[in-house]
Structure formats: C-alpha cells, structure tokens
A and B are shown apart, each in its own frame.
Chain A
Amino acid sequence: MASKSPQAPRLRQRQVAVPTQDIDDSRLHQEDHVGEVYQNPRRRHPVEKLLETRRASFIVVSVLTALAFALRFYKINQPDQVVFDEVHFGKFAAHYISREYYFDVHPPFAKLLFGLAGWFVGFDGKFLFENIGDSYTDNHVPYVGMRALPAILGSLTVPVVYAIMKESGYSTVIAAFSASIILFDNAHIAQSRLILLDATLIFFLSLTMYSYIRFKKLRYLPFSTEWWTWLTLTGAFMACTWGSKVNGILTVATIGIAVLIDLWDILDVKKEGHTMEYFWRHFTARAIGLILVPFIIYLSFFYVHFAVLTKSGPGDTFMSPAFQETLSGNEMLLNSQEIKYLDTVTLRHKDTKVFLHSHIERYPLKYEDGRISSQGQQVTGYGHNDTNNNWQIIPTKALPEAGRGRYVRHGDVIQLLHVNTQSYLLTHDVASPLMPTNQEFTTWPKDDHSRHNDTLFYININEGHDGDVVKSKSGHFKLIHGSTRVALWTHTKQLPEWAFKQQEINGNKGATEKSATWFIQDIIDSEDEDFKNRTEDHVEPKKPKSMNFFRKFGELQLLMLQHNAGLTASHPYASSPINWPFLLSGISFWTENDSQKQIYLIGNIVGWWTCVISLSIYVGILGADLLARRRGLDPIPDPVRNRLWNSTGFFMLVWGVHYAPFFLMSRQLFIHHYLPSHLASAMIAGSVFSFILSETVNYPVSVRGPSTRAHPKQYADLGIKAPIIFVGFSVAMLVVLLFFAPLTYGTPGLTGEQVNARRLLSTWTLHFAAKVTAEVV
C-alpha cells in the first residue's frame, strides 16, 4: 500500500492511504516528498501567524521567564532553616569562604558558585550547616543570597527550554508547552529554591543541548566562525554540567553518542561523497571543541578549587600525606618527624583513629562461640591516650653509633616492644576473637626468644620507595607480619567485656587491604639526645609544600570515584529508578513539628504523567513507523519523520542516557536524579503534542549552506486548537502546583486531613498525615 498518491498535493490533512493499482508508480515517488509538500506561509491559521512573529515569541518567553522567577523566588526565605542537602552544599560553600580544604564526591564548579554567591552577599563562612533544621536567622547567615543563585539558574532554565524547542523548529505554542512543564513543576521549583547542585546541573544541561542544536543546525556551513562558536560553547557548557555534579558525566556521554552518530554519517561515502581528509577535519574539530576545550575548563575548576582551598580542613584525612603537606596548618606539616630506632612511639590506625594498645589481661581460653584462643596477652585498639599505647621500635639489624643509619626506613624489619609489659608484638595462626578468618595478635615476653620469628614485622610505607624514612603523622604505613604475611588491622567491632569493649585488632590476610593503614602519632621518648629537638615545641612550623596540579587532580578524581561508588548505605527516601518517571515516591526534605510544616520533593503529577504518556506515545510512533516501513508502507511524510527521528530522537537520547545508567548503579538513588531526564521528557512531550495535532512542521530548520540543495520551505500550522489546549493544560498545571505548594514551599503548615488530601499516591510518605485507623470489624 502506498501511503499517498503522488498526484495529490500534500497539505495539512493526513493522507489516508489510497489503495492504488500502480504500486510501482507510487514507489517511484516515495523517496522524495519534495514536490508535493510545499506550503504557503500565508495560508496558515491567523493565530499561528500571529504567534510565530518575533514579537509574539518574545512576549511569550518574557511572560514565561517572569513567571519562572516569581514562582522560584516566592518566599525564598522560607524556611529559614537548613534543609536536606544544604547540610552538605552550604557547608562546602562555607569552606570556600574560610578556605579550608574539604572533600566531596562532586566536582567543584557548582559549589564554587555557591561560595562566590555567599562571599558576594557577605557570608563569613563561620556557620557550618551541621544539622537539618538549624536556624539561619539565629546564626546571621545571608542564606537568601545563596539560595538566589539556584533560583536564578532554575528560572533561566525555562526560557532555555523554550529556545531549544523554537530552534528545533516547533511552534511558539509547542515551545511554551514544553517550557511550562518545567515552569510549573513542583520538583524543579523545590530543587531551585535551596542550596542544592541540581539547578545548576540542569541549567547547564539545557544550555549544552541548546548549543549543540545550534551547532547541528549549522552543519551545511562547517568550519564557519558561527559553527566553531557553537561547537566550542557546547563543549564549554558540557564542562560546566560535568563540573556541577558527577551525574553531568552523562551529559558528556550524550553529546559523545550524538557526535559519533554524526561522524558516522559524515563518513558515509554514499551520502555526500566526502574524502577521508574532510572526515578527519571534522573529527579533529570535534576533538578540539568537545574533548580538549571541556577538559581544560573542567581542569580549571579544580585549579581554582585547589587555589582557593589552601588551608587545612575536614577533607585533609581523605588525601595522601604528600597532598596534606600542601595545606597550611595541617598537622602533618607542623610536626612530622623522622623516626629513629629505639624511639618510643604511639601507633594509630588511620581510619578508626584508635591507638595500638596492649594490657596485662589475657584472652579468655574459650570464646562464646566455642572457639579457643591462645590465652596470650590482649592486643586491642584503644581510643584514648594511655601509657599502654607506648611501643618501642626495636631494630633487627646492627645500628651504627650515630647518623642516618639510625632512622627507620621503608621495608625494614622491626620488632615492637610494649613498654609497660616488656613484651614483643606477635601474631600467629590462631583465629582472632571475633573473626575466624583473621589472625590473633598478642605479645610475647622479651626474654623468651623461642618465638622470635613471629615477632618480626615489615614496615611498608604506602607508596614508599626504598630508603624512605618513616615519619610521624605523615607517614602512612602497613605493618606486615614476617612469617604469615598478614597485615596489622582493626575494624570498628568491639570486643566483649573481658577486653573492656575495646576495639579488636587482628591480622588481615589481604595484605593489600587499604584499611590496614597506620601511622605514628607521637614520639614519646627516645634514646637519642637530640630527641627534645625533634618534639613539636622546638620545631618551626614548615611552609606548605607545593605539589603538581595534575597529581593533585588525579588523586582527587580517583578518590571521588571511589567514594561515589561507596555511597551504598540505605536511606529511607532512596528509591529505585523504575519509580521515577511515574512519580511514585518523593523525598522528605525538611519538617517542622510545631507548625506541621514540611518540604516534600515531589513533581507536578500532571506534568510528569503527561511526560510519561508522551514518551510511550513517542516510542509507539517510532515502533509503528519501523513496522510499517518494514512492510513497505510509508505513513509519515519525510520532514515529519526527520523531525521525529533526529530532533525528538536527540531529546530521547538525552532522556535515555540520563536515566538508564542508574539501573546499573548500586549506590543510593533519589528521585531528583531523574530531573535531567524529566527536562528531556518535557521536550519530547512538546514534540509529541505537535505531532498529534498536526502533520506540519517548520522545515527545514538547518541553515542552508552554499552547496545544499534547496528544499522548499514548509511551515507548521497548529491552528487554534493548540493554544486552547495549551492554556487548558497550563491552568491544570498551575492548579496542581498551587495545591501542592505547601509541600514545595514548606509553608503554610497543613493539618492532618489536608496532608491526607495531598497524598494522591499511597507511596508518598508525607509527614503529619492524619491517622486513618482501620477498624476491626
């Protein structure tokens, strides 16, 4: 069946398939609809003509923007308390202002902006956003200024969405439709009014999309100045997206995939017959604009980050000693001392901060679970200062009288003598009290040489080289047992009463285990005369060292990745990705019991479900188109299909790439991770809306190049239906927005019944709901 007869002019009505006898004839014309679908712009509906003027478009976008600002700034000072993740991001901003080093899994760009905003409005960085519910007013924090930043960016996202749709060739009404889904959305509003990173992420994501579309539209004018500009801007905004939050890497992936598809087309010799040389030019241009430029920008965020954070802060301990030595005021810098043999020192575990401790009590012969111990002297981890933490480092080789030979070095074999009980640290193949898989640590009298070999330990500095001297505080090392190769290790489990609930120490068979890291806290005593000179009071604080930026950058990136993957703890409001598009669950951001106020992150259900329905319609259309074409039918005119596959397809790509990877992640996930995808789905909704109403599109949208074949222009005409539906839809969105406003703005408080009324889905776990007690019949 041919979808259209070639003779009939293709105008606005959908062409009902006319069964024609001459199939061959219709096939001839199928490849190109050019001749048939010309349209006169003046024959459009007057409303459409009016709305498509520059002026009308400007007015519409102005109204949308003004509304966006109004909705996002309304009562932005409410609540004057720390809400949800403001705990983190507010704190980080404070650190920038006080220039204290912190560590976080997200790249620094958005947080730098918050720091800047805070600095701009006069925040002194003293308030540390410790708990949700801490008052800003009492602590004199100019939080409104800081919240204004995401509010501005969140508001500006709305006109950018509008512009994306306009640039993609949709009518004003359609562009306004997509923008209004974002404009009236409770979730976007709630996220934009607080000191959170998502508004920045989404804003730059939309800018990236916008620039890429502009760039794509110039594809017939390659290497022109404009083309280069939009290419570079795409790269720049992409870097900003990535720099705002780790999820931004998905935006990079999106653009990457789109570019690969694009390059694949350029490679196609059949299409325009380009030479390989031409292809490589394109390739290089994109490599510069979309890899090199973004990477430099991304690096520059970190450069600023390190340049600002020059003081020691809470993030120190995440970093390597070498890194810490670049921070002024860091403890390591103050009194990191080289250790000599026969020094008496205290050893401390890096992660749990307990001291290696031993006392005269012995392990019980039999544990509760029936296993047997060696009944040796207990070795435990103890959190407080005590003389039982003192160990003397005994050499296993002859020492010179004086000089550098007396220093303890990487890879040396040492013994540790427990000073108070005069016994050596020892481990052997006996199961530890709590973990049958790990070895027990105990001590052995100094004079009894029968087990000498079991008291030998290698001291291996992390990333150390031969000859490196062990230093107090800054030198992190592992203590590897000589004969059984286990590492001295501890974990947060407490031993029972017989060991005074101190922490268990045992030998971990994984000798590369990261958490088996120890350092020397203090030098207590030394056989050496110059000992006094080496203690802290006598030492001048050293100058912060410098470290190569790229090494710092590399170290931090690695840590960020590791920690991001490590965020697996369960959270009551974490949800699985499948729930997100359907808006099945929200997040409780903040509550105030007295006034029954709460902020609950939930989207505008009208908008979200419109998006989900549109997505399924879109997939349905594509599926039907594929099936039909497989059977040799051609139900959709080429310009419309191009639009659906290329333009809407790009939105779909954004949606999919920002959504699907979450299914593979095992870290805790929240509904706000879906917001970038929701933005894309709003655009798909607009496109589907347009497709349903009319088969016309503005075409072509790409800028014509010198060698491009002239396509007759076509114009979209949605008639009067579209504005009417749009107005109706916006009113519905607005009504729902206002209904849920108390949950979004956190004010006013709601009674139990009111809360119940707003609980449209039983999966929304709102606070202060009135109890509906089921009766027992």
Chain B
Amino acid sequence: MTESRGVRHRGHKAPSPAPPLTGAETTPRDEKKELGPHEGQSKPQQTGFAPADLLKTEYLVHVVGLTYTLLSFWTRFYKIGHANSVVWDEAHFGKFGSHYLKREFYFDVHPPLGKMLVGLAGLLAGYDGSFEFKSGEDYTDEVPYVAMRMMLASFGAAMVPLGWYTAVELGMSQWAAHIVALMVLLDVGWLCISRFILLDSMLLFFTVLTVFCMTKFHNQRTRSFSFPWWFWLTSTGISIGCVSSVKMIGLFVTALVGLFTIEDLWEKFGDVSISVQDQLKHWTARVICLIFIPILVFMASFKVHFMILTNSGPGDAQMSSLFQAGLDGNEFADSPLEIAFGSRVTLKNVGYGGGLLHSHAHPYPDGSAQQQITCYHHKDHNNEWDILPRWEEPPYDPEGPIRFLQDGDVIRLQHPPTTRFLHSHRIPAPITKLHHEVSGYGNTTIGDVHDYWAVEVVDDLQRGSRAAVLKEGNIHALTTRLRFRHQVIGCYLRAANVNLPQWGWKQVEVTCDPENNPKDRHTYWNVEMHRNERLPPGDIEFYHSPFLVDFWHLNVAMMTSNNALVPDPDKEDILASKPTDWPFLHLGLRMNGWGDNTTKFYLVGNPIVWWGSSISLGLALAVLGVYLLRWQRKYVDMTDGEWTHFLYVGKVALFGWALHYFPFLIMGRVTYLHHYLPTLYFAVLMFGHVLDHLVFSSRRLPLAVKATVFGVIASAVVGTFWWFKGVAFGIDGPIGEHWGLLWRKSWNIYTQ
C-alpha cells in the first residue's frame, strides 16, 4: 500500500494532531507504513514523510493531472467541427440555446442551467439565435457551431483531471489512479457525447465534480470547521445544486452525498467526545451547505431562466395565464375584460401544470366512443370554445343585447372546429374510472341536457374573494377562477395531470369528478384567450405572478411531461434501450444518419471500460462477502484502518453506481444508452478500487506482477480506444469499409 500513501495521507499532514478518539484511520495507517513493502515508483517515500518527498509527490500529482488535462482537451477537441450538420439531440438543445438568445419562452422537461450554458456558449461565440437546428441539417455560416461545441466539450474535458484527482483523493495507489484516469480519458462513449451541443457533458462534469468535492471534504474530516473544511462542504453543495439544475438525473448523485452525510453524522452522533455544541454545529453546517445552498442554486437557475426569457414563445401554454400575460408579445392584455355569451375563449386549468381544455376529431377507443376531450399544452384552434346559452333558450343572437356571463349561469360550451358540445355522462372515465367521462357530443342542432354546465365563481386574483366578484358582477378573463358543474350529474370538470395513453397522444385526461372538493385546484379554470368583437378591448393592468408560483408551476409541468415519456408498446423505438442492456454494452446508438456520405457517430462505450467496470462491481461484492464471512469467523485480514478505507471507497463506488442504475429499472420512462454514462463513472471508480485492493496494494504480489497487470490493462484500454476512436471522431465513407467494429452481434453498427 505504500505508494499510495504519499497520496492518501495528504489530508493528514496537517500539523495539528488529530484527537485519537476520532481517528480510527490515523493510527493504523501509520502502522501500515511499517508493514507495507516496496513498490516501484515510490521507493523514495519508504523512508518516511520527509518534506521534500511530500513536495515531490504533490508536485508529481499535479504534473500528471496537467498531462491528463492536455490529453483530454486533445481528445475532446480533435476534429470537433468535422461533422458540420446538426447531430442527434443538438436539434433540441441547440434550439433551446437559440431561445435564450432570442429571449423567447420555451418549455422542456429538463431544468434550465445546462441549456442556459448552451445559450451562453452561443452568446460568447457570437451566435444570434436565428438558426433552427433541424435534425441532420447542415450548419450555415452564421452558426459558430465549432466554438459552441468546444465550449461545451470543455466540460467533458474537465472530467478527466477530476477523475484523476478524485482517485487520488480516494486514496488509491497511483497505479489505480492512472487506470481510473485512463479509463475516463479513453472511453469513447464519454468522448462522443461530450463533443456535441448536448447537456450530457455538463451533467457528467458536475456529477464528477460533486464526487470530487465530497472526497475532498471527507479528507478534511479531522479538521472540522477549518477553512478548507467549509470550502469543500460548500463546494459540494453548490455542485449538487448545479448537477440537479442540469438534468434531474443529478438527484441521484445528490442522494449519494445524502447517504454519505447521514453516515458521517451517525458516526459523529455516536462519538460521545464531541460536545453538544459541536454536534449542533455539524448538523447545521450540513443543513445549510447541502440542503439550502443546492436549493438556492436550483431556484436561482430558474430565476435567471425567467429573467432571460421575457418574450412570448412556444412554451407559453405550459404556464399560468397570468405568467403568459406578463410576457412581451402576448396579446392577452388587449382581449376584452368581461366574458359574455357568444365569446370565444380558451379555458386554462388552474392546477399546477394544468393545460388548456382541448378536443380533437378522434373518439375514445372505449367508453362512449364519443369525441375525446383532453387538456393540452400547446396553442391551437382546437383549444377554443364558444359560450352559448341552453337549448331551451333562444339561440345566441349576434345582434341582440350583450349578455354578460354571471355566476350560476348554465351554459353550453361548443367546440367550433368540430361543432361538438362539452358533454358528460355516467360512463367511467378512461383512466380515473371512478370519475365520469367527459366527451364531445352532438353538433349545432343535436344535443341534450347533458351538455349543460353551471358556472361557479371561486374567486378572483385581482378582486379577491367570491363575494367581491359577485358584488361587482361580471366574470373577468385571466383572473377570475371558475368551476364548471355538470347540471345533471352534479360533477365537476377536472384535469389533474393524468396522461392518456398513446390513443390520446399522451395529453392530459379530463374527467368529471362526482365529489365536490371545493379546495381542489384541479377543478378550477380561468379564461385565458378571449375573443369577442362586440366588446371593447380590455386594458387590464396585471400584477405579475410571483416567482415561487411560477417556479412551482413549471416544475410540476416538467414532471408531468416527463411522466408522459413512457415507452409506447405499439411503436418500436430503435433508439431506446433497457437498463439491462447497458452494463455489458448490449446495444449502441446511432447518433445521426447512416448514409455513405455523412460523417457517422455511434454512441457506444469502450468495451474494455464497460465490461471491465461491470465485472468489477460483481467482484467487489464477492470480495466483500468473503471478508464478511471471514470476519464473522474472526479472521483478521486487515487492520481497522484498511478495512474502513476499503469500505469507504467501495461504498462511494457501489452506492453511487446503484443509485444511478436501479432507479432506471423502476422508472416507467423511456430510457436511452446515454443515461448510463454518469453511472459508468462509479463503475470505473470501482474498477480502480478493486484492482487497487486485489493487485496494486497487495502485500503478497511481487512488483513484476503488478507492473504486468497495469501494463496489460492500460494497453488494452488504449488499444480499444484507438480501435474505436472513429465512432467518436466520426466515421467517413461507407461503414462497410471500416472493418472489425462489431464486437457484439447485437450492435446495429453495420446492419439494420
């Protein structure tokens, strides 16, 4: 274990001697010094910790780190602009970046930080946001795509030195740390995904950074409340905030930090020698740095998001009506204020994540088989409804006196494109079976009393309570919140973010709830768009909807859309893969067209890295099992310190991997190969750890064996990288001319 020592003990060179109580790690490790034999490069260290050696070691670590950084930038930047067309999800994320530059409000399932950085990269590169980023299209001259890709690839490049330093901080021997760094450097999957305008490079960077900060913080544990201790704790918190603001997958590494912290605090809690004050200080520090700071970072990213996107854009309909009214270029302010019979309106569900009441000319597949009614988050003519009087009353007369809509009025809502009426009856709704189905029924001449809806005013955001509205009288667009009660059944029109299956295009189910829950926001609606030529245009002064409301609303909407991304059993998605396909690289993913003239990119890992790291996970569990059994039989295999260290690194790697892997198995969402990329990092750490434990730090194996193992593995990683580099750097010409890439029969690299 010697050669690692110079590295691992960097935390301990602090002059202040750690109190013996806490340091199960300190003492045994010092003993190890005597036990540990001889390893090649570290010969000088054997004499002990002379300051000069320490300096040298530290120096060496940075030299190596710098070397890896340079190599890393070379791999990430090499021929980065070679494919001058929009590759894969650049179509999405490039477009989102453009929206920031044009400051148009858009909607997406991912949090905004990563996309804002894409926008920033565009801004710095001098891009004006005018390009449409259609999939597969060639970039025009105005788009500085190379500069944008390079800026984003820098995040991917930074992974490599971070990987190296993390391995060092985890106390791996230098050989193991080299293996980790080489694998991070030379995995073609990480390489490939980092070279485009995608969020993954940032996600990977922040994930790796979080782990790095956490290990740094861990190594400060004997110096509680010192400046470095606070620094790394805070950095961990900020990093968590960033990773979660790039993609929700960041929550998994957050969970890892959470578990680590809980264990740490549990240890502290059992340490009777720590005073109560210090205990409280420890707890408070973590709550502030690991809970408040990340939440602040997350919310700040949304705040900036809202501050940048002040123009009306394609994502408006996801947000509340009031928020939309506050966007520039929105015409709500000009629409008439008071609703009257004959008005054409769109109805917005007030619940968080609510959409617009919608219908389209497709029937329900079962139930009444009448026309579908849904909630929809995009603006089109199918969201519009005409307010009409009951069948018994004289039909609406465009010439007659204007009749304003009042609380308690019974109305029919007609869908102009299909002339159907909003209708409900005692048939179970398609998903929420205990509610009644809402359908579109009849036409301008056919209809019945089941088309009647009583309007109930809930309150008004500007005028206050229901009583205030009733006193003043009329119902206002945007601000008055309404409920629609079915006249015959007495149920309430409701939409609660339940997605319909594919036959309903994953839009939100609309039901009629027989229970009267006056507090249920999902039964509240407000008029959003309002058109009525006979009424004067309103000049409404809006108050802005508060940030926290918008923030929550947008997050609920993101969740709902995310939940709608479930695999469609009727449709074969050749890009999607199952989590079980990942660890052993059962499938690769074509990132763009496969024509002979395009530059082709194939998302697939370095097989040695993927297979090796997956095997190491099983091996680690087996080794752990053997140790536990032997421990129960009271065999002493390791000193306490070694055992703690073996467990610590193993836990970081294993829990990190499990937290990034098992949730995908449970999720109903569509999963893709690139979801495994953050997971892979922990597997690689485990690979280094297992090798370190079994080989490089072994007391029994001679140096020659260790050198051989290192040589074989390192050259295998380098060799496979060289063999597969084309899939990340781009393959030109007919794929058939590139021989020998089909390492698993299931890859679709050559054939359909």
Which positions in A face B, CB cutoff 8 Å? 264, 267-270, 276, 435, 437, 509-510, 570-572, 627, 630-632, 664, 666, 762, 765, 771-774, 776
Assess A509 versus B572: contact at CB under 8 Å? Given A570-B433, A631-B269, A631-B270: yes
Given A437-B572, A773-B490, A774-B516, 9 extra CB contacts under 8 A: A269-B633, A276-B633, A435-B570, A572-B428, A630-B269, A630-B270, A772-B516, A774-B485, A776-B407
Q: List 24 A-B contacts (CB under 8 A).
A: A264-B632, A267-B632, A269-B633, A270-B634, A276-B633, A435-B570, A437-B572, A509-B572, A570-B431, A571-B433, A572-B428, A627-B269, A630-B269, A631-B270, A666-B668, A762-B515, A765-B434, A772-B516, A773-B490, A774-B490, A774-B516, A774-B518, A776-B407, A776-B456
Partner of A572 from B434, B485, B632 at Cβ < 8 Å: B434
Residues of B near A270 (CB, < 8 A) are 634
B632 touches A269 (CB 8 A): yes
Instruction: Mark out the residues of chain B between 53 and 79 whose CB falls within 8 Å of any chain A CB in the assembled complex.
Output: none
**Cβ of A572 and Cβ of B634 under 8 Å apart?**
no
> How distant is the Cα of A776 from the Cα of B516 in the complex, in angstroms?
12
- Choose one: A630, A664, A771, A776; the contact of B266 (CB below 8 Å): A630
Which residues of the partner chain A approach B490 to less than 8 Å between Cβ atoms? 771, 773-774
Query: Can you name the residue of chain B whose Cβ is closest to the Cβ of A267?
Result: B632
Closest partner residue, chain B, to A484 (CB atom): B752
Q: Shortest distance in angstroms between B745's beta carbon and chain A's nearest beta carbon?
A: 15
**B410 nearest CB neighbor, chain A only:** A776
Q: Which chain A residues lie closer than 8 Å to B518 at the CB level?
A: 774
Q: Does B48 contact A (CB under 8 A)?
A: no
Q: How far is the CA of A267 from the CA of B631 in the complex (A)?
A: 10
Tell me how far the C-beta of A630 lies from the nearest C-beta in chain B, rounded to whole angstroms.
4
Q: Are A437 and B571 in contact (CB under 8 A)?
A: yes
> Within the complex, what minimum Cβ distance (angstroms) separates B581 from chain A?
16
Residues 202-221 of chain B, each 1 if its beta carbon lies under 8 Å from chain A, else 0: 00000000000000000000
Distance, CA A631 to CA B279, complexed state (A):
12
- Give B426-468 as 1s and 0s: 1 = Cβ < 8 Å from A's Cβ atoms: 0010010110000000000000000000101000000000000
For the complex, is B408 an interface residue (Cβ under 8 Å from A)?
A: yes
How distant is the Cα of A269 from the Cα of B634 in the complex, in angstroms? 7
Chain A's nearest CB lies how many Å from the CB of B500? Answer: 12
Docked complex Cα distance between A435 and B570 (Å): 8
**Bound-state Cα–Cα, A435 to B569, Å:** 12
In whole Å, how far is B502's beta carbon from the nearest beta carbon of chain A? Answer: 12
> Does B666 belong to the interface (CB within 8 Å)?
yes
CA–CA, A509 and B428, complex, Å:
36
As a 0/1 sequence over residues 413 to 434 of chain B, the CB contacts with chain A under 8 angstroms (1 = contact) are 0000000000000001001011
Report the bound CA distance from A570 to B367 in whole Å.
14
CB proximity of A505 to chain B, nearest CB, Å = 16
- Smallest beta-carbon distance B665→chain A, Å: 9
What residues of B have a CB within 8 angstroms of the CB of A631 in the complex? 269-270, 272
A772 CA / B518 CA spacing, docked (Å): 14
Q: By the criterion CB–CB under 8 Å, are A776 and B454 in contact? A: yes
- What residue in chain B is nearest A264 (Cβ atoms)? B632
A267 to B633, CA, bound (A): 7
Complex alpha-carbon distance, A212 and B407, angstroms: 67
Q: In the assembly, what is the distance between CA of A119 and CA of B572, in Å?
A: 51
Query: Does chain A have a CB within 8 A of B307?
Result: no
Residues of A within 8 A of B266 (CB): 630
B629 within 8 A of A: yes
Contact across chains for B456 and A572 when beta carbons are under 8 A apart: no
CA distance A136 to B408 in the complex (A): 51
Chain B residues with CB under 8 Å of A632's CB are 272
**Considering residues A437, A627, A631, A776, which has the most beta carbons from chain B within 10 angstroms of its beta carbon?**
A776
Q: B428 — nearest CB in chain A belongs to which residue? A: A572
* Closest residue of B by beta carbon distance from A631: B272
Per-position binary interface string of chain B over residues 336-350, scored 1 when its CB falls under 8 Å from any chain A CB and 0 otherwise: 000000000000000
CA of A776 to CA of B269, assembled, Å: 58
Q: How many residues of B contact A (CB 8 A)?
A: 26
Q: Tell me the chain B residues, 616-651 only, with Cβ under 8 Å from chain A.
A: 629, 632-634
A568, chain B: closest CB distance, angstroms: 11
Contacts of A509 in B (CB 8 A): 572
Cα A437 to Cα B571 in complex, Å, equals: 7
Nearest-CB residue, chain A, relative to B365: A493
Given the complex of chains A and B, what is the CA–CA distance between A435 and B666 in angstroms? 29
Q: A631-B269, A776-B456 known; A664 and B632 CB under 8 Å?
A: no
**A627: B residues at CB distance < 8 A:** 269
* Contact in complex: A267, B269 (CB < 8 Å): no
Report the Cα distance A269→B272, complex, angstroms.
29
Q: Which of B376-429 contact A (CB under 8 A)?
A: 407-408, 428
Contacts of A267 in B (CB 8 A): 629, 632-633
The CA-CA distance from A762 to B431 in the complex, in Å, is 20
Per-residue interface assignment for chain B, residues 511 to 533, with 1 indicating a CB less than 8 Å from any chain A CB and 0 otherwise: 00001101000000000000000
Query: Are A664 and B570 interface neighbours, CB within 8 A?
Result: no
Taken together as a complex, chains A and B put the C-alpha atoms of A570 and B270 apart, in Å, by 49
Q: Are A776 and B485 in contact (CB under 8 A)?
A: yes
In the bound complex, CA of A649 to CA of B456 (Å): 54
Q: When chains A and B are docked, how far (Å) is the Cα of A437 from the Cα of B272?
A: 67
Q: How far is the CB of A270 from chain B (nearest CB, A)?
A: 6
Whole-angstrom CA separation of A666 from B666 in the bound complex? 10
Q: A residues within 8 A CB of B632?
A: 264, 267-269
In chain B, what residue has the closest Cβ to A437? B572
Whole-angstrom distance between the alpha carbons of A572 and B668 in the complex? 21
User: B628: nearest residue on chain A (CB-CB)?
Assistant: A264
In the complex, A165 Cα to B312 Cα: how many Å?
A: 68
Q: How far in angstroms is the closest Cβ of chain A from B340? A: 20
- Set of chain B residues within 8 Å of A765, measured between Cβ atoms: 434
Q: Which of A510, A630, A664, A762 contacts B666 (CB 8 A)?
A: A664
| Least distance between A475 CB and chain B CB atoms (Å) | 29
Q: What's the nearest-Cβ distance from chain A to residue B312, in Å?
A: 32
- Closest residue on chain B to residue A572 by CB atoms: B433
- Tell me which of B266, B407, B572, B668 has the highest count of chain A C-beta atoms within 10 A of its own C-beta: B572
What A residues does B666 contact at CB under 8 A? 664
Instruction: Report Cα–Cα, A510/B515, bound state, in Å.
Output: 46
Closest 5 CB pairs of A and B: A572-B433, A630-B270, A774-B516, A269-B634, A267-B632
User: Whose C-beta in chain A lies nearest to the C-beta of B409?
Assistant: A776
Nearest CB in chain B: distance from A515 CB, A: 12
Residue of B nearest to A627 (CB): B269
Within the complex, the shortest CB–CB distance from B568 to chain A, in Å, comes to: 10
Q: Looking at the assembled complex, report how far the CB atom of A774 sits from the nearest CB atom of chain B, in whole angstroms.
A: 4
- Expressed in whole angstroms, the Cα–Cα distance for A572 and B433 within the complex equals 5
Complexed CA–CA distance, A264 and B629 (Å): 9
Contact code string B486-503 (vs A, CB < 8 Å = 1, else 0): 000010000000000000
A485: nearest chain-B partner, CB-CB: B752
Shortest distance in angstroms between A313's beta carbon and chain B's nearest beta carbon?
30
Query: CA A571 – CA B572 in complex, angstroms?
Result: 27
Across the two chains, which residue of chain B brings its CB closest to A266? B632
Q: Give the one of B272, B408, B632, B668 with max A CB within 10 A.
A: B632
Interface flags for B566-607 (1: CB within 8 Å of A; 0: not) read: 000011100000000000000000000000000000000000
**Within the assembled complex, what's the spacing in Å between the Cα atoms of A267 and B625?**
14
Q: How far is the CA of A251 from the CA of B629 in the complex (A)?
A: 26
**CB of A626, distance to nearest CB on chain B (Å):** 9
Nearest chain A residue, comparing its CB with the CB of B431? A570
Q: How far is the CB of A195 from chain B (nearest CB, A)?
A: 25
Taking CB atoms, residues of chain B closer than 8 Å to A264 are: 632
State how many angstroms separate the Cβ of A17 from the closest Cβ of chain B.
15
B338 to chain A, nearest CB (A): 20
Question: Nearest Cβ distance between residue A458 and chain B, in whole angstroms?
Answer: 19
- Nearest-neighbour CB distance to chain B for A318, whole angstroms, equals 21
Interfacial chain B residues near A437, Cβ < 8 Å: 570-572
Q: Which A residues are in CB contact (< 8 Å) with B269? A: 627, 630-631
Bound CA span A324–B269, Å? 65
How far, in angstroms, from A627 to B279 measured CA to CA in the complex? Answer: 14
Q: CA separation between A630 and B267, bound complex, in Å?
A: 9
Return chain B residues, CB-CB under 8 Å to A572.
428, 433-434
Bound CA span A264–B666, Å:
31
Which of chain B's residues have a CB closer than 8 A to the CB of A268? 632
